[in-house]
Amino acid sequence: MNEPRQFPGMRISTNAVLVVAIILFAAATCFFCSQSLHAQDQKVVWTSQEKPIFEQIRTLRQLPDDTRARVTKDLALQIRRWPASENKVQLAIDLASLSTEGDFGRDTLQEVATTLAGALREHPVPREQGGPAAPYMELAELVRYEHVQASLDGPQFAAATAKFEADDQSRQYVDFTLSDLQGKSWTLRELQGKVALVNFWATWCPPCRKEMPDLQALYDQFKGQGFVVLAISDEDESKVRPFIADKNITYPVLLDPEGKVGTLFQIGGIPKSFVYDRTGKLVAQSIDMRTRKQFLEMLSQAGLR
C-alpha cells in the first residue's frame, strides 16, 4: 500500500512491507479488502442523506450477485442526483471500486462510470504528489479495462490514461522466475507454447478467495491443452501453504515475498489476472475478480475454448 491518499478508493497495493498493516485493517473493517483504505478512516462526516448510501456500499459484498448488480446501479443513480461535493466524489469512487468484483452487467458499470465522471466534473480533485488523484485513476481504469464510456477533460484523466497504456506496454515484455510451494521453478518466458494465466492474490482478500474455485475448475478443464495458472502471493509461506491445502488448490502457487514481481506488473491491487497466449503475447487482463464466464472470455482470446 502506498501512503494514504485524500481519496483512498484505489485498490490496496500488494507491497509486502505493509502486509501486516493491511491485515489489521481487514480484521477491523474488512469490506474493501481488495481496495484501499476506506473513507471512514478519513473521518468523513456524512449527511443524513449520505450515511445510508455509505452503509449500503459497505454491505454490497454480502448480497447475492444479481441483487448486488441492481443495488449498485441504483446507488450510482442516487449519488448522481446529489449536489456537487467532496463526499459525493468519495461515495462515487467507493462504489466504483467495488463494481468490478465480478460480472454485474455492462449497464451497471456504465452507470457507475458516468456517476464518477460527473462527480469529478462538478468537484475536481487536486492532483496528488507523484501523479493523478485516485478518482481519476479509477475512472481511467474503468474506461480502459472494462470498456465503458466516460467523457472527462483535463490533464489528470489524460495522465491516468497514459499511465495505464505505459503499464500495459511493460507487461507485454515482463519476465520473472519464482518457485511454487513444491519448490519447482517457473519462468514466464519459458512457457511459450502454453497459455499462461498469471494471477495476483492473497489469503486475506475476499474477491481473490471467491474466484479461486473457478480458476481451479478451468485449470482442471484446460491443463491437458497446455494451460498453466501461476498464482502469485506476496505473503509468507506459513500463511499460504495451509490455506491452499484447505481449499484443495492444485494449480501452481508461487511465492513473491518481497513483492518484486508485483512491482514488475505495476500491481496496484488484487486480484488481477493476465493471460499470455502460446507465443507469449499478453492478450487479456482483468482489474478485479472474474467469474468463470469472464475467465473463459479471457482464455478464448488465447485460443482456449
Give pLDDT tens digits for 190-220.
999 999 999 999 999 999 999 999 999 999 9
Amino acid at 133: A
Q: Which three cell numbers stand for residue 177?
A: 522466475
Q: Which residues pair with 186 in a beta bridge?
A: 178
The model's pTM: 0.84
Query: What is the tens place of the pLDDT at every residue in 72-109?
Result: 999 999 999 999 999 999 999 999 999 999 999 999 99
One DSSP character per residue, 120-163 reads HHHS--PPBTTBS-HHHHHHHHHHHHH-------SHHHHHHHHH
Q: Which residues pair with 180 in a beta bridge?
A: 254
Using alpha carbons, select from 248, 239, 251 the residue that is nearest to residue 182.
251
